[in-house]
């Protein structure tokens, strides 16, 4: 029995139980994670999970059931259970009954695999352990009180089928790693990380971790963490701020990516993740930011963490503008949310496992490169602050008011970087902030965010964010408790 | 239900036997098995839009052999799949890096019996869950309803090569929902319990709707430091964050926590316990290393007493583990699972008019000369773990209080506040006399909280401008 056979059995079970549409996703995932601390391995986790998740539509309402058993009978029964749950949903129906549940789509048949030069699960554990223990030992030697390093690897295979005739299989390999130095000061902790606190992740093989070259940066970040304890506080007030690429990735994620999720805009996340300040009536006309702001949703971006061939309801990956020349032009949508909103495109529905319902998620949401370089932006700044590397993040339930903390900042005086500053924070209101972006670098990196939480039950999404350093004016900095 | 519990323990024993045969008698081996049946009915725009269920069993195997440790887990529990997992883990253990911090295994140690499970949770059907949602939706009237009702049933077992073999189970039903007016003001109702009968959708719908209506017409006020009354829903966030950053044994070891055992670090009115075994929220009687959980006194009358440890962190601290190992605790630390702020003594609360969730919170409001009533916190994140400095926003209803009365609704504000200092000596002005259990998104975790009156809370900006 193939995995497609299991998916077909689940669909047949759902249809026989009264569903008018059903899809099923068999998923097999292997996960490996190792962490080291102060020169020793601290934790090694290897996880394997496989099962089938079935989505069924009955009376215009949805049900989902997941089971970790790919036998024909279990899969078929999962389909029946999904239909039964959908029938229960129909007892508290949508007031807008009568609409089409899904936008139309042609059946998709195909295969896709992410590019992978070195299978990360084939690299010996001892080699991976040596990488982390040597880097953390070096940071410790250089004065870090706590030196940590880690990597994570996901190897995911999916087989999707639908009652409309789609049959898609995909193989996605993702990995990434990071090191971090913490210094305990007098009533404070200071941290420096490389390449970011959680790491740089992509839909790539172990070559990504090798390119990152953690060991080469160990001594530097330990020195910088120690130096931060002696540095002056980031001043409070309004400043011109240059934000580094890693922090820009999270700025995009939080204040654009989540805001353009169509399920949030429709209120489907109102009780938990929140809604959005965006109103669909303004799609195509709302000014989101300055003319330098061009945001693209692109799940085809090679090697980025949010890349795939098809999303988890069988829509083929395709790039789409979200913001063009500062004007809001597109959303992250699925076939169901698009039907409700009256839009004609989908492609951004994903699930973090066989046991979870696919929902609207970010793919790769990134900023197109600008005309400048970081060096040029610093040189053009008379009085400002350069800050980078996310340390904390918080944003309101409409994705409007944000406050970020970074690991490190530097004064900019007369076009040159000056003193190091500690505890930098900045806060703002999304469209006002983006409208103040007056310089944007061309030095784009597709940063990966492997820990995007959303949904009930909770799901962890993997998203990509091509981003480059950018300059903003009149930004409130230095908020402290 | 004993048959089901024995099944998990049998499975753990079977994997243990396979692993010992493969790894050899000198290896330390332990196996934990967790089975969770989750069903969650989610609604928005007053209809059920996501309705899901799954049942998953996960087996986790750890092997420590010749100074090297590795672990693996799988949801594939067929004989062949388990055998493959064992072989893969044994092979990995041989090439894993050395692990000098291995704390060893717990020997035979009894655990407290699981509290009574609720058969009604286990047997709840999709129609039962939809019925409670319908009750909530109808109770909010012309307002829009969104949220979830869920049931969860855990059975778990643990066995190791040192002779520990235990099992346990728990049930939980929970509702977490808002009501929203046409002008987008909203109110929230939230509750968790071991028993499904404790969750009344209609009562919660009325409460959330009352809050939403009372928050209509909110105005901006100047940021600054205000006295506050926090509803239990907001207090829960404070307790979670104190748990994650303060009572996390790993952070204590690393001197990243504010905790100093034996010192008076909180107001004498504050007693914090972690209690999943005797409280009314769901909790399991042992952790993933087989260490029993008991009622853990974290803060006693303001004096810091204990933190949460797994065996590794406890060994580093020179103490015994107290039941807080998780699958990732070695890397990410451990925190209380069922933290509770002990309420003051008082009569059972009753429903009240207006935005306060009940008469217990209303009594706190009546004590305030000028301050804010805060219903909920949102997206709180840590700026400095040492002082538990958090930034976040108010949500689901905030009101200005003057002379003991609610005088006007206030728009959401951002705060940047040290949570440990907010609980410091002299800063806790009153603790409500009724605590409720509040659900958590992941695992058999919860917080049990009364309302709370605090002397100072630092609001650093408005959320809308």
Place B277 in a pLDDT band, splitting at 50, 70 and 90: confident
**Separation in Å, CA of A66 to nearest CA in chain B:** 5
Q: Do A271 and B418 touch (CB under 8 A)?
A: no
Which residue from B95, B256, B380 is facing A124, i.e. has the nearest CB? B95
Task: Give yes or no for B92 touching A (CB within 8 A).
Answer: yes
Which residue from B92, B97, B391 is facing A394, i.e. has the nearest CB? B391
- Is pLDDT larger for residue A91 or for residue B348? A91
> Could you tell me where in chain A the CATH 3.30.2290.10 domains are found?
3-230
**Residue B117: is its pLDDT beyond 80?**
yes
With pLDDT > 70 as the criterion, what percentage of chain B qualifies? 98
Q: Do B391 and A481 touch (CB under 8 A)?
A: yes
H or E element, residue A4: helix A3-16
CA distance A295 to A305: 17
CB B395 within 8 A of CB B377: yes
Q: State chain B's mean pLDDT as an integer.
A: 94
Place B4 in a pLDDT band, splitting at 50, 70 and 90: very low
Within 13 Å of residue B359, how many CA atoms lie on the same side as its CB? Answer: 6
Q: Do A189 and B384 touch (CB under 8 A)?
A: yes
CB A327 within 8 A of CB A284: yes
Report, as ranges of residue numbers, the positions in chain A whose pLDDT lies below 50.
none
The tokens describing B434, both together, are 């009724």
Task: Give B202's contacts in chain A (Cβ within 8 Å).
Answer: none
Domains parsed from chain B with CATH numbers = 2-213 (3.30.2290.10), 218-462 (no CATH)
Segment A268-282, tens digit of pLDDT: 999 999 999 999 999
Task: Give A80's contacts in chain B (Cβ within 8 Å).
Answer: none
Task: Give A68's contacts in chain B (Cβ within 8 Å).
Answer: 55-57, 75-77
pLDDT at B1: 36
**Which of B59, B178, B391 has the most A C-beta neighbours within 10 Å, making it the best mutation to test the interface with A?**
B391
Task: Give yes or no for B268 touching A (CB within 8 A).
Answer: no
- CB proximity under 8 Å: B 355-394 to A: 378-387, 389-393
Q: How far is CA B142 from CA A98, A478, B45, B129, B145, in A?
A: 21, 44, 11, 22, 9
Q: Do A45 and B386 touch (CB under 8 A)?
A: no
Burial class (CB in 10 A: 0-12, 13-18, 19+), B142: exposed
What lies within 8 Å, CB to CB, of A62 at 6+ separation is A55, A56, A86, A89, A336, A357, B49, B50, B51
Place B348 in a pLDDT band, splitting at 50, 70 and 90: confident
Task: Give A150's contacts in chain B (Cβ within 8 Å).
Answer: 331
**Separation in Å, CA of A48 to nearest CA in chain B:** 5
Task: Give B57's contacts in chain A (Cβ within 8 Å).
Answer: 68
Task: Give B59's contacts in chain A (Cβ within 8 Å).
Answer: none
Supply the DSSP string of A414-472, one letter for each residue: TTEEEEEEBS-EEEEEHHHHHHTEEEEBS--EEEEEEEEEETTTTEEEEEEEEE--EEE
Q: Do B54 and A67 touch (CB under 8 A)?
A: yes
Q: Do B89 and A425 touch (CB under 8 A)?
A: no
CA distance B195 to A261: 36
Q: Do B461 and A479 touch (CB under 8 A)?
A: yes
Query: What radius of gyration do chain B's Cα atoms show?
Result: 23
Segment B363-402, tens digit of pLDDT: 999 999 999 999 999 999 999 899 999 999 999 999 999 9
Q: How far is CA B132 from CA B128, B191, B229, in A?
A: 7, 13, 30
**Residue B460: is its pLDDT beyond 80?**
yes
pLDDT at A97: 57
Q: Do B255 and A266 touch (CB under 8 A)?
A: no
What lies within 8 Å, CB to CB, of B3 at 6+ separation is none
Sign of CA dihedral A114, A118, A122, A127: negative
**Residue B6: is its pLDDT beyond 60?**
no
- Residue of B270, B305, B301 whose CA lies nearest to B453: B270
3-state secondary structure of A372: strand
Task: Give yes or no for B80 touching A (CB within 8 A).
Answer: no
CA distance B421 to B430: 15
CA distance A194 to A178: 6
Strands A416-421 and A320-324, how do they pair?
unpaired
CB A155 within 8 A of CB A29: yes
CA distance A315 to A350: 11
Average pLDDT over residues B41-60: 97
Task: Give B458's contacts in chain A (Cβ within 8 Å).
Answer: 481
Cα nearest neighbour of B92 on chain A: A125
The domain defined by A3-230 folds into PmbA/TldD fold (3.30.2290)
CB A212 within 8 A of CB A195: yes
Task: Give B72's contacts in chain A (Cβ within 8 Å).
Answer: 45-48
Cα nearest neighbour of B442 on chain A: A458
Average pLDDT over residues B46-50: 96
pLDDT at B354: 83
**Separation in Å, CA of A283 to nearest CA in chain B:** 20
pLDDT at B94: 85
CA distance B450 to B432: 5
Which residue from B41, B69, B97 is facing A126, i.e. has the nearest CB? B97
CA distance B149 to B126: 11
CB A299 within 8 A of CB A306: yes
Cα nearest neighbour of A431 on chain B: B465
DSSP, res A216: G
Within 13 Å of residue A307, how many CA atoms lie on the same side as its CB? Answer: 24
pLDDT at A303: 98
CA distance A160 to A150: 32
């Amino acid at each position: 029995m193939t995995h497609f056979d299991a998916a077909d059995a689940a669909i047949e079970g759902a249809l026989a139980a009264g569903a008018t549409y059903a899809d099923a996703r068999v998923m097999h995932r292997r996960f490996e994670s190792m962490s080291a601390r102060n020169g020793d391995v601290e934790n090694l986790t290897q996880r394997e999970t496989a099962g089938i998740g079935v989505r069924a539509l009955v009376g215009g309402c949805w049900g989902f059931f997941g089971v970790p058993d790919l036998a024909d009978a279990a899969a078929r029964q999962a389909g029946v259970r999904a239909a039964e749950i959908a029938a229960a949903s129909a007892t508290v129906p949508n007031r807008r009954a009568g609409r089409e549940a899904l936008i139309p789509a042609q059946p998709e048949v195909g295969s896709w695999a992410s590019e992978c030069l070195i299978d990360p699960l084939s690299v010996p554990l001892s080699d991976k352990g040596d990488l982390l223990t040597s880097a953390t030992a070096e940071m410790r030697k250089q004065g870090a009180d706590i030196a940590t390093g880690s990597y994570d690897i996901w190897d995911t295979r999916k087989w999707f089928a639908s009652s409309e005739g789609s049959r898609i299989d995909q193989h996605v390999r993702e990995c990434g790693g990071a090191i971090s130095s913490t210094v305990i000061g007098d009533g404070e902790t200071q941290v420096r990380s490389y390449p970011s606190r959680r790491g740089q992740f992509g839909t790539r093989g172990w070559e990504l971790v090798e390119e990152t070259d953690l060991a080469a940066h160990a001594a530097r970040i330990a020195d910088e963490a120690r130096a931060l304890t002696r540095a002056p506080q980031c001043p409070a007030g309004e400043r011109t701020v240059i934000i580094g690429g890693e922090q820009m990735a999270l700025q995009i994620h939080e204040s654009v990516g989540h805001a353009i999720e169509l399920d949030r805009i429709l209120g489907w996340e109102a009780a938990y993740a929140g809604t959005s300040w965006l109103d669909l009536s303004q799609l195509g006309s709302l000014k989101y930011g300055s003319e330098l702001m061009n945001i693209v949703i692109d799940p085809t971006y090679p090697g980025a963490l949010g890349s795939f061939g098809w999303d988890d309801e069988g829509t083929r990956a395709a790039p789409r503008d979200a913001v063009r020349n500062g004007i809001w032009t597109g959303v992250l949508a699925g076939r169901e949310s698009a039907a409700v909103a009256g839009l004609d495109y989908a492609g951004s529905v994903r699930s973090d496992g066989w046991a979870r319902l696919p929902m609207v998620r970010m793919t790769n949401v990134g900023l197109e490169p600008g005309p400048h370089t970081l060096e040029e932006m610093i040189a053009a700044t008379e009085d400002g602050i350069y800050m980078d590397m996310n340390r904390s993040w918080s944003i309101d339930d409409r994705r409007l008011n944000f406050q970020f903390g970074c690991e490190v900042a530097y004064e900019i005086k007369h076009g040159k970087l000056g003193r190091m500053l500690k505890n930098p924070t900045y806060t703002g209101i999304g469209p006002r902030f983006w409208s103040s972006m007056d310089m944007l670098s061309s030095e784009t990196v597709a940063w990966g965010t492997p820990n995007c939480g959303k949904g009930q039950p909770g799901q962890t999404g993997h998203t990509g964010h091509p981003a480059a350093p950018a300059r903003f004016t009149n930004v409130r900095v230095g908020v402290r408790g | 239900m004993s048959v089901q519990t024995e099944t998990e323990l049998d499975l753990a024993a079977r994997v243990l036997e396979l692993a010992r045969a493969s790894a050899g008698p000198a290896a330390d081996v332990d196996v934990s098995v967790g089975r969770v049946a989750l069903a969650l009915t989610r609604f928005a725009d007053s209809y059920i839009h996501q309705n899901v269920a799954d049942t998953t069993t996960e087996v986790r195997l750890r092997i420590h052999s010749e100074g090297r440790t590795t672990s693996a887990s799988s949801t594939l529990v067929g004989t062949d799949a388990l055998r493959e997992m064992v072989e893969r883990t044994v092979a990995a253990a041989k090439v894993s890096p050395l692990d000098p911090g291995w704390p060893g295994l717990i020997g035979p140690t009894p655990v407290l019996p699981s509290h009574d499970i609720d058969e009604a949770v286990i047997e709840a059907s999709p129609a039962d869950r939809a019925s409670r949602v319908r009750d909530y939706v109808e109770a909010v009237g012309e307002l829009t309803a969104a949220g979830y009702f869920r049931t969860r049933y855990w059975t778990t077992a643990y066995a190791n090569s040192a002779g520990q073999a235990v099992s346990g189970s728990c049930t939980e039903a929970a509702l977490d929902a808002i009501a929203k007016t046409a002008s987008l003001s909203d109110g929230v109702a939230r509750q968790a319990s071991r028993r499904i009968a404790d969750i009344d959708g209609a009562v919660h719908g009325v409460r959330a709707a009352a809050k939403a209506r009372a928050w209509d017409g909110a105005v901006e006020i100047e940021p600054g430091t205000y006295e506050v009354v926090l509803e239990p829903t907001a207090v829960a966030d404070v307790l979670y964050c104190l748990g994650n950053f303060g009572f996390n044994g790993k952070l204590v070891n690393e001197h990243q926590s504010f905790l100093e055992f034996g010192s008076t670090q909180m107001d004498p009115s504050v007693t914090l316990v972690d209690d999943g075994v005797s409280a009314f929220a769901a909790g399991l009687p042992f952790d993933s290393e087989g260490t029993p959980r008991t009622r853990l006194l974290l803060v006693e009358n303001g004096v810091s007493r204990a933190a949460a440890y797994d065996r590794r962190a406890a060994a580093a601290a020179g103490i015994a583990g107290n039941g807080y190992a998780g699958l990732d605790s070695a890397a990410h630390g451990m925190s209380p699972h069922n933290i509770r702020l002990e309420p003051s003594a008082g009569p059972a609360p009753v429903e009240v008019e207006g935005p306060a969730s009940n008469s217990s919170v209303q009594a706190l409001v009546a004590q305030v000369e000028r301050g804010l009533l805060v219903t909920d916190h949102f997206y709180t994140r840590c700026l400095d773990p040492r002082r538990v400095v958090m930034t976040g926003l108010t949500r689901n209803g905030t009101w200005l209080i003057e002379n003991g009365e609610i005088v006007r609704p206030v728009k959401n504000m951002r705060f940047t506040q040290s949570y440990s200092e907010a609980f410091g000596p002299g800063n806790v002005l009153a603790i409500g006399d009724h605590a409720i259990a509040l659900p958590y998104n992941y695992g058999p975790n919860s917080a049990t909280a009364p309302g709370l009156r605090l002397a100072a809370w630092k609001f650093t900006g408005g959320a809308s401008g």
